[in-house]
Structure 1
């Protein structure tokens, strides 16, 4: 059913939202609220990072990594913005990827887990969700720094990449990830800034190059992912502890949450928020808020909307909670 709550003042652009309550045993949707077109594909920004952290911890469970395995930041794998210098453990990088939304930490884990393996697993679990590229690869591609893969015209190249069938996109994504390691993080950041403020920026390319999903599909996927059920007990505890530090939740929640996992993402005219809540009476909720095409373009300015949007999301969850006994129509 549609939410009856108006969006906070200042929110512009395309907003699609989906929140649902799930049966704790069967994981079936019991009731849901939606805004907009929750089956439209949109960019995830950094909200994809819980999937990377889960994949890295599954590598720990499989014995291919350990929580204290050290991964080293180099000029080749450093992404944009702040980064973890030197060598850091898988566990430290996992926390940085969620708590700080550290792009390099996420990329190091992504590369260690195997981008192609993760892409196929995500597609198997959620066909509407696409997770193909590391952050450095998609930013470098968008900034026009990978002409050897995308042709000298980055706009045409990215549109062609976005239109490829999945298996072909996997091959192109592999080439983009490799090519991105030949440019530095600061170079990507400089060129990206010029691109966003320049005449060649095209909003539709966010869908072509970023990791994407729909509000409904990603909520369903997060309802299965964020409890940590796919992990062994030790890594599940690590995962849940880390996701409980993710952005964002109300400072003083009205919802009786015993566990609130969350992750946000922002970009040029983009704000995304996803999460999963367990309450004291044993109920389970998940949600995804996807906003792109905002007239507020700068990521830091978009992030100022997080607090009012989080409160709006909580009000929707409280509405769902009050609907016990009223299943989906």
Structure 2
């Protein structure tokens, strides 16, 4: 039986597992897990940041599932399949609030690479080499791998090295500007290893000796200035081994001086309202050739996470989740038999739950809550 709520594939065992090695590599039996609360982390001054406007939407009154803590913002929309216009939407919290994207940015990479395949810049069989410098955290594809394989495991397994290789192959500055052009509230600037190395304090030549203050300066820069610094952060990450980054970030996450502001300053970020439109265009395979659209829909159609026994009669349900320290994101795009199109973005950060398994275990409770909102949108 296929388990649909799973974020990462198993990786190599380690003699002394750290927080991130557990988060990134341990397989989980979801039905056996319980929530492990941690010390609550208050939002620092200036953490609440907003961007853009929110389309007219009805407020969600359904209570959040038991055990969900921290900040939750949500947006879901119904689209006219002919025009792409939003015909109905629902909202919870502040859908214009910026959140760290965690792994939910990865579909943008997959779609972009397949667009380049359509343009003749690459083929599905183009080989990309993984090196110690490009190896990120968690399981990694050693040696040479095809772009087709990397796009698959970047979603199915949420492989961080695969995602970083796709971004480096496509061009970080190129993707950053393309995403910014269509969604100014969405910033995709840095590889996973780049932002983790920066958080771990391994980029002092870029951020200075105080990583928290340096990250805040970077986060406050105008977009074009951030693009340039992001390149330096990517290169700084490549100078450190994955083991050094893992040890450093594990130390930071467990520190009592940990600041969640670094998540917003250094990670790729978006708002639920802004990202919902990109989720629709990306997970649907819009703008791709028939062959490439079929390939990406197959990848996203097996990505995490959908209800195991859905109430929605969907003909297609593409999804991608993301989890990192105290952060859980769930995104998806749904097509119904009558042609109705739905897209949603659920973003939860500052959670009191720090245990990785417990955050994963919350997914089966959150998915029915999301589906309830989609059922509301799909009603005549």
* Same fold (TM > 0.5): yes
Deviation at 1:205, TM superposition (A): 1.2
1:73 partnered with 2:130: yes
Give 1:80-99 correspondences, 5 Å limit.
80-99=137-156
Comparing 100-109 with 63-72, which one deviates more in the overlay? Answer: 63-72
Q: 1:215, 1:74 → 2: CA distance?
A: 34
1:116 alignment counterpart: 173
Tell me, yes or no, if structure 1 residue 102 matches structure 2 residue 159. yes
SS of 1:257's partner is coil
Equivalent pair of 1:267/1:298 in contact (CA under 8 Å): no
Equivalent in 22, 27, 51 of residue 108 of structure 2? 51
Could you tell me which of 26, 32, 38 is aligned with 2:95? 38
The DSSP-based 3-state class of the residue aligned with 1:97 is helix
Can you list the C-alpha shifts for 1:167-200, whole angstroms capped at 9, x where unaligned? Answer: 1100000111111111111211111101100133
Asked whether 1:240 is paired with 2:297, we answer yes
The Cα of 1:84 is off from its aligned counterpart by 1.0
1:139 aligns with 2:158: no
Give CA-to-partner distance per residue, 1:82-105, whole Å, 9 cap, x none. 111221111111110001000001
- Aligned 8 A contact 1:39 1:214 in 2: yes
Identify the residue that residue 172 of structure 1 maps to in structure 2.
229
| TM superposition shift of 1:66 | 1.0
The two structures have a TM-score, normalised by structure 1, of 0.96
Paired residues for 1:15-34 under 5 Å: 15-34=72-91
- Whether 2:330 is the aligned partner of 1:273: answer yes
Distance 1:298 1:165 in 2: 34
1:295 is aligned to 2:352: yes
**Matches of 2:356 and 2:152 in 1, distance apart?**
22
Cross-structure match for 1:252 = 309
Distance 1:255 1:283 in 2: 12
Equivalent pairs counted in the alignment come to: 323
What secondary structure does 1:111 align onto?
A: helix
1:152 matched residue in structure 2: 209
Which one of the candidate residues 255, 258, 265 is aligned to 1:201? 258
- TM-score, scaled to structure 2: 0.84
Alignment equivalent of 1:216, drawn from 267, 273, 287: 273
Structure 2 match to 1:12: 69
In structure 2, the gaps of 5 or more residues are 1-57
> Over aligned residue pairs, what C-alpha RMSD do you find?
0.9
How far off is 1:269 after superposition? Answer: 0.7
Could you list the structure 1 runs, at least 4 aligned residues long, displaced by more than 3 angstroms after superposition: none
Measure, in 1, the Cα distance between the counterparts of 2:345 and 2:180. 18
Q: Distance in 2 between matches of 1:190 and 1:179?
A: 16
Task: Give yes or no for the alignment of 1:283 onto 2:340.
Answer: yes
Q: Residues of 1 paired with 2:89 and 2:347: CA distance?
A: 16
String of CA shifts for 1:144-187, please: whole Å, max 9, x gaps: 11111111111111000001111110000011111111111121
- Aligned counterpart in structure 2 of residue 308 of structure 1, from 365, 369, 376: 365
Deviation at 1:301, TM superposition (A): 2.0
Find the counterpart in structure 1 of residue 288 from structure 2: 231
> Could you report, residue by residue, the CA deviation over 1:53-93 in whole angstroms, capped at 9, with x for unpaired residues?
11111221122211011111110100001111221111111
